[in-house]
């Protein structure tokens, strides 16, 4: 996938602004509540760490992908969550604190789980080009810059100016979706040649993985009797991966352009299915909870 001002500058900047907007919807009470609900965290982590990689192995084997593309599917499924899933959860009105918690935990656990899954993938599909080493420093800095710091800024604004934050909640989500949508459209145009050239070979595989991850994550959470708001969050955290980090690992650690193609195309595709899923669950079950929160003026 091509790099440039859109992917290297504008998209990260837009995500930072959007994360500030999301931080303006959160208070410390939201995170304290999660400490009393460990079940939701356990269900979400199980979905991300076990269900998603299992689906990736199954899809890669089922579609008979060649070694490089099979390994790239496992790399994608084993990578930690990122700010994109947080954004989609935010726009859907689902459980943002749960989303942030799952993202943070997945980044910690990925340091161990990613090499393990890549090792298994090597045994099944062939050799990984390069050394299976996660760039820990880059991951920590990247996650902090795109999520922790801007969300903290938003939470400070919420604490200092709660009335302003509450009034901006719904307009902020609309503006966030519009800005990201425009940038993603430009990214699609910029990478159109790669999509046309490489997509048909393995598009059915990564599309299948994405859909199964969203539906499987939701079904698992519902089966474990989580409320729909948290079930939607688990589904989004399962189906929306940090494609940017995956691409960075493929290029910088393994030095393989081919290994970055599937995550790149998945990263574009998942935005459409992610937003579609978010708006679907919001319309059916979550919107009333958001309106009640805004109407009560809860800081």
Residue 247: which domain range?
Answer: 5-296
State the 10-residue block means of pLDDT for the chain, 299 residues long: 62 74 76 79 95 96 88 88 81 85 79 81 74 54 73 87 81 70 68 72 90 96 94 94 75 70 82 87 51 45
Instruction: Give me the number of domains the chain comprises.
Output: 1
Question: What CATH number did the domain enclosing 191 receive?
Answer: 1.20.1530.20
Is residue 198 a contact partner of residue 25, using CB atoms and an 8 Å limit? no
Q: What is the dihedral of CA 279, 283, 284, 286, to 10 degrees?
A: 90
User: Is the separation of the CB atoms in 19 and 154 below 8 Å?
Assistant: yes
Angle at Cα 195 formed by Cα 191 and Cα 196, nearest 5°? 120
In angstroms, the CA 175 to CA 42 distance is 33
Per-residue pLDDT tens digits for 108-134: 787 778 878 888 888 888 875 554 455
Per-residue pLDDT tens digits for 134-177: 555 665 676 677 777 888 888 898 888 888 888 887 777 677 66
Q: What's the predicted TM-score (pTM) here?
A: 0.75
């Amino acid at each position: 996938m091509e790099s440039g001002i859109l992917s290297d500058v504008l998209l990260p900047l837009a995500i930072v602004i959007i994360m500030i907007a999301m931080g303006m919807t959160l208070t410390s009470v939201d995170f304290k509540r999660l400490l009393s609900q460990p079940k939701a965290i356990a269900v979400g982590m199980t979905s991300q760490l076990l269900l998603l990689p299992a689906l990736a192995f199954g899809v890669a084997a089922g579609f008979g992908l060649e070694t490089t593309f099979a390994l790239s599917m496992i790399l994608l499924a084993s990578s930690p969550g990122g700010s994109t899933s947080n954004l989609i959860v935010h726009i859907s009105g689902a459980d943002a604190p749960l989303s942030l918690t799952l993202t943070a935990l997945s980044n910690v656990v990925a340091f161990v789980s990613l090499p393990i899954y890549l090792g298994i993938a090597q045994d099944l599909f062939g050799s990984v080009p390069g050394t299976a080493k996660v760039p820990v420093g880059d991951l920590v800095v990247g996650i902090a810059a795109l999520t922790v710091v801007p969300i903290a800024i938003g939470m400070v604004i919420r604490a200092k100016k709660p009335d302003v934050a509450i009034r901006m909640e719904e307009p902020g989500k609309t503006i966030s979706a519009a800005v990201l949508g425009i940038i993603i459209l430009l990214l699609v145009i910029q990478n159109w040649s790669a999509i046309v050239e490489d997509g048909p070979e393995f598009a059915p595989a990564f599309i299948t993985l994405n859909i199964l991850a969203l539906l499987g994550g939701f079904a698992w959470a519902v089966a474990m009797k989580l409320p729909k708001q948290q079930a939607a969050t688990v589904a989004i955290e399962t189906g929306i991966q940090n494609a940017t980090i995956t691409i960075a690992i493929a290029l910088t650690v393994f030095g393989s352009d081919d290994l970055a193609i599937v995550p790149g195309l998945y990263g574009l595709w998942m935005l459409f299915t992610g937003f579609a899923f978010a708006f679907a669950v919001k319309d059916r079950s979550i919107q009333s909870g958001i309106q009640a929160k805004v109407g009560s003026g809860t800081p």
